[in-house]
Each structure stands twice: as structure tokens, then as C-alpha cells.
Structure 1
Amino acid sequence: MTGTTDPRAAAPDGIARHVTSQQRMDVRMSVSPLRRGRGDPTYESTADGAVWRTSRMSSGPVTYRLMQTSRTSVQARAWGPGAPELLDAVPALLGLDDDASTFAPEHPILQEAHRQLPHLRLGRTGLVLEALIPAIIEQRVHGISAFGSWRYLVSKFGEKAPGPTPKPMFVFPTPDVWRRIPSWEYHRANVDPARSKTIVRAAQAAGRLEEASTMTSEDAARRLRAIPGVGVWTAAETAQRALGDPDALSVGDYHLAAVVGWSLLGRPIDDAEMVEYLQPLAPHRHRAIRLLYLSGKATKPKFGPRTALVDHTWH
């Protein structure tokens, strides 16, 4: 179905697919990394347990709804030109391609986290630019600020989501739109010139960047980092979501090394020591980090500096 359209996608009920697995699935656990803050205009979770999201497939925009119907089954429904293509991608989105069979941590905290959450599945969207641009926006700034910037830009420059939505939702803008956003709009969104220029460069190279979704992890990282302004952290954050890379370690994160150190060693460590310490867990270092956080075992004393909220709107 990839690349095709289906007239049913424009119908009020859209089109649907039922996905089953022999192993347990958890929709929210697999797709929650795609959410960029509580006000994300591309993501919403509702009281009935459904996850709603918008996306831009190669065939066009789509709104989709994922509902867990049992421990081993999920109902997916989608609207818009990209609906058939999205439904083809649902198994990967739910992490059914993820293989944790070789993950065997020795640390008792990670062992217990894995025992508690054996059903963690790392999903992948296959959409590189859609994961890269919000990661660029989140570079070196507080999450609250970054989420506000994302919300402003997508709501203003993205198109209205197709089909019914539980709140006003918008679709990730096209590369051409990202490239043409005026500099003053980035300023209003509190995105400084360095990050906005990186976004423009990424949008200009969108075609080559999307090719990374079919590459090895190493080649994909090189392709991403070929964009000036995209470093190790940004490439890893992109690979985690777009590629479902279980080993993409967010080196350079403001808090991660300290969290790993306090959680697993009882003391703070820096990035270099974190990389060395976690190396035996390769190729599952990102999986270990997700388990640490999801299990509630990630810890860090509440003292020391916090990421400052910086206002770039004055530029």
C-alpha cells in the first residue's frame, strides 16, 4: 500500500488495521517518545486509552489513532492521503521489529527493570526529518522552552490534521515550508539563529536525510552528522525515534550522565565515563536507558544547576 491513496481514508471512519503479536505490546510505551511536551499539536492521548498522532508520510499527511484492544493486539485507524502508507508502518511503529533477545544486563537494577518491563518495544517511524527537527529545537535549551517552540512552529506552519481529532491538531510541515519560515518567526518561537539555520540546512537536505532510514546505524549517524549543527546528541535523539535504534546513546544530554551515575554507581559521572561504563551493554545502550526511566529506577539528587530558561525572542 505504500505510496498509494485510498478513497476510504477521506471517509469519516477512515481506514483501519488490526495488528496482533504473540508477545505483549504496549502502545503508549512504544510511541510516547514521539510526544514533544503536553501541548504537542501532533500528539494526544485520550481518557479511553487511545493515542492520536499526526504525521507526514511520503504519500501525504495522516492522522492516526492507536487503541490497545488486548495485551497482544492493537487497532489502528487512519485518515488522510498518507493513511494506507501509515497502516503499513504500524508494526514497526509499535516495535514489532525490535529484538531484545541479546540484551543481558549484569547490573541488578537493570536486570530488575528488564524483568518488570520485558514487553518494552522500541518503535520506529522511518521518518528522519520529522524526528530531527524537534531534536534540533531541543538542543541546549530547557524542555519547557523547546516544547513551546515546537508547538508554535507546527501550529502556525503545519496544515490542519485530516479526519476527526480529539483536539485541534496539525501536521508536521513540509521540508519546503521549514526552509522558508522567516527568521523573525523563528525568533518569535524562541529559536535562536544557530538552531534555525540548522533546521534550514536539514530541510534543504531532506531527501538525503530520509535515505538514512534504510542505512545501518553507523551510516545513518554519519549522514545525520554531515549536516552542520547536528552533533552526537541530536543524531542519537533522531535515531531513537526514526530508526528505533536500541543503541543510540544521547551523549551530551544535560542530565543523562549524572542520572546513569547516580542510578547505577551511586555517584555522578561525566559523558566520557558514561560511554565507557555502558559500553558492555552495546548494542542496547538506549534500551537500558529507557528501562531505567520507565521502571522508575532512574535517580538523581535534587541539587546542582538546572538548565536555564533562555529567551531568544529579543534577537
Structure 2
Amino acid sequence: MASRTWVPPGPYDLGRTLCVLARGPGDPAYRVTGDGAIWRASRTPQGPGTLRITAVDGEVHAEAWGPGADWLLETLPSLLGAADDPAAFTPRHRLVHETHRRNPGLRLARTGLVLESLVPSILEQKVTSDEAYRAWRLLLQRHGEPAPGPAPRMHVMPDPRAWSLIPSWEWHRAGVDDKRAATIVRAARVASRLEEAAGMDDARASARLQAVPGIGPWTTAETLQRTNGSADAVTVGDLHLPRIVGYALTGTRGTTDETMLELLSPYEGQRHRACRLILLSGVAPPRRAPRFAPRDFTRI
């Protein structure tokens, strides 16, 4: 086991910063234990590794296990948002200002691991969150490997070759249709090229990811928000986000992507952070329609 301590330069909220990396409450690669520790299981360039992170008395302590331990500790500050600059953000709406004031410790995490965020984002394309979370959980449990160290029943995601070798019936068993499965396989086959996007600016990284058929603006934004800590990668094409942003900022319903982008234009360069704060405010239009029923792909 290796360890490292990082001291944030100001107020810091570990849970708020890293919670976007969890893919549902049963994510095999992300756990929050009763003592408040956050555990992450990742496949790093040096191999699988497990990270345990705690925040105590203004310091963040991390322990790591496995072949990827050194890489995880070396990149720990970036993961925790050290490269993020919250001071670059200026609230332009009362609700955003108040939420920003109440969350001074929010930072934008940067994992530096593209496939780790890209695959679950592909799984979330055009399905309910519950369907996507279930698929991610089953695929990691069946095709990943146990996380190194004393991790509580955690799994590291498959390597690119293992993703490309998952048979069709296993995708169907996890509830993943052929289109999403094929997109993941295509991405896995060029994984080394996609991982380079973690060191690019948003425009170049977006172009690199969208060169893979099946990966569009929605999936790209969801990935770059996590891998690159992008403050401006706003998610377009989402079923809920435009309506939430529109309702929170204007009180109106039925906001489109185009109107959402107009509303967010005062935050150019910081639009994703503005959306994070709007979502944290809890203000959203009342639900009028029932939830979509999960589909059973095992019967197709």
C-alpha cells in the first residue's frame, strides 16, 4: 500500500466533487463506506488499482493498492480538482449565485482516464438511468476483475481487449442493445487513441471521440466533464437537462437545447459548472409523466 496527502487551497467538498464519477448506487467501481471514505477501482495505464480517499481537518488522504497505485497517487490532485479554477466563475442569476455560495468546496474532478467514463456514457445513451446502471454493474462483475487491496466487493472494468471480446448474448443479458454494444467495441479497438483526448483541449478532444461512429455530442460532453474536468462541456441532447435549466432560470417549461444554450451564454467557458450548480439547487419542473419502463433485451 502507498499513500499521499493533498491539502486543498481553500474550502473543499470531497463528496460533491467526486460523486459524478459514480454510476448508480451499486457501481462496482465506486463505493462510499460508512466511515465516509470514497473508494475507486480504476484501470490505469500501469494496470488496475484501487484508491481510498478521506477528507479530515482540511486535508485529503489517499491510500492505493495494485499495479496502478503509483499512477493513481501521482494524479490524485487532478482527480480532486486541483487544476480547476472556481474563481473563473461569475454567477449571473440569483439561484446560481445562492447555490454557488452554499457550495464553496465544489471542484470539477479530472480522472485522465477516457475509456473509464466513455463506456458508461455510451451505456446511458437513450435509456433510463436504472437500465444503464444495471448494465454497467453486470458487465463489470462478469467481465472485469476484482479490485486490488481491501476494496469492499469492488471490480475494475475490463481492459479494451476484454470489452471487444464480450459475446452478443452477454450484452443482451446486461440489457444492452446491439447499437450501444457495437459502439463500445469500436471504441475499445481504438482505446489508445481515445485516451490521448485526456490531454487535449475540448475542441480537439471532442473531435477525437466523435470520430468513432456512435459517439455524438451528448456522450462526448458526459465523458469530457469527468476525464478532462471540462468546465464548459455542456450536455446537449439530454432528455431532462434543458427543461431543468429553463425552469430554474426562467420558471418556464419545455425548454429546448437551443434555448438552454442561450440561457447559458453568460457562462461561456463555464457552462458545465453552471449546470452543476443548477442541478445542485434542486429546482426542477414537477414531473407530469410516468417514468419510462425498462426494456428487457433478453427477449429480443
User: Residues 52-67 of structure 1 correspond to what in structure 2 (within 5 A)?
Assistant: 52-67=39-54
The RMSD of aligned alpha carbons is: 1.1
The answer for the alignment partner of 1:9 in structure 2 is: none
Percent sequence identity over matched residues?
Answer: 49
- Residue number in structure 1 paired with 2:69: 83
* Number of matched pairs: 299
User: Any idea what SS the aligned residue of 1:101 has?
Assistant: helix
* 1:299 partnered with 2:284: yes
Matched, 1:124 2:110: yes
Q: 1:110 maps to which residue?
A: 96
Q: 1:10 maps to what in 2?
A: none
Deviation at 1:105, TM superposition (A): 2.0
User: CA 1:228–1:169 in 2, change beyond 3 Å: closer, same or farther?
Assistant: same
CA contact (8 A) 2:95 2:281 kept: no
User: Is 1:68 aligned with 2:55?
Assistant: yes
**Aligned mates of 1:43, 1:21 — CA distance in 2:** 22
Structure 2: runs of 5 or more not aligned: none
Q: Is the partner of 2:145 in helix, strand or coil?
A: coil
Q: 1:25–1:94: 8 Å Cα contact kept in structure 2? A: no
Find the counterpart in structure 2 of residue 30 from structure 1: 17
Would the aligned equivalents of 2:12 and 2:104 in 1 still touch at CA under 8 Å?
Answer: no
- Please report how far the alpha carbon of residue 22 of structure 1 lies from its aligned counterpart in structure 2 after TM superposition: 2.4
Amino acid at match of 1:287: R
Contact in 2 for aligned 1:107/1:264 (Cα 8 Å): yes
3-state DSSP of counterpart to 2:155: coil
Distance, in Å, in 2 between the alignment partners of 1:157 and 1:302 is 37
- C-alpha distance in 2 between matches for 1:295 and 1:75: 29
- Give the TM-score taking structure 1 as reference length: 0.93
Q: Letter of the aligned partner of 1:162 in structure 2? A: P
SS in 1 for 2:140: helix
2:213 counterpart of 1:228: yes
CA distance in 2 between counterparts of 1:26 and 1:275 reads 28
Deviations 1:202-253 (A, max 9, x none): 0011011001011111110111111100111100000011111011111111
Give me the whole-angstrom Cα distance separating, in 2, the residues matched to 1:130 and 1:151.
13
Does 2:146 match 1:160? yes
Deviations 1:81-121 (A, max 9, x none): 00011001110111011012221121111111111112210
- Give the Å deviation of 1:305: 5.5
Q: 2:189 aligns with which of 204, 207, 210?
A: 204
List per-residue Cα deviations over 1:140-189 (Å, max 9, x = no partner). Answer: 000011100000001100011110022x1110110000011011110111
Q: Secondary structure at the match of 1:153?
A: helix
1:64-95 superposed Cα distances (whole Å, 9 cap, x missing partner)? 1000112x310000000000110011101110
User: Residue type of the partner of 2:34?
Assistant: A
Q: Residues 29-48 of structure 1: matches in 2 within 5 Å?
A: 29-48=16-35
Give the equivalent residue in structure 1 for 2:125: 139
Indicate conservation of the 8 Å contact 1:117/1:295, yes or no. no
Letter in 1 for 2:55: Q
Q: Secondary structure at the match of 1:77?
A: strand
For 1:264 and 1:32, locate their aligned partners in 2 and report how far apart those are by CA, in whole Å. Answer: 24
Matching residue's letter, 2:272:
H
List runs of 5+ in structure 1 lacking aligned partners: 1-13
Distance 1:285 1:145 in 2: 28
TM-score (normalizing by structure 2): 0.97
Corresponding residue for 2:236?
251
- Maintained 8 Å contact 2:30/2:38: yes
- Kindly indicate whether the alpha-carbon contact (under 8 Å) linking 1:259 and 1:299 is maintained by their aligned counterparts in 2: yes
Cα-to-partner distance string for 1:232-291 (whole Å, 9 max, x where unaligned) = 110000001111101111111111111111111101211111112212211111101111
Establish whether residue 290 from structure 1 lines up as the match of residue 267 from structure 2: no
Is 1:21 the counterpart of 2:8? The answer is yes
Which runs of structure 2 are paired with 1:165-204 in the superposition (5 Å)?
165-166=151-152, 168-204=153-189
What CA distance in whole angstroms lies between the structure 1 residues aligned with 2:192 and 2:210? 15
By how many angstroms is 1:294 displaced? 2.1
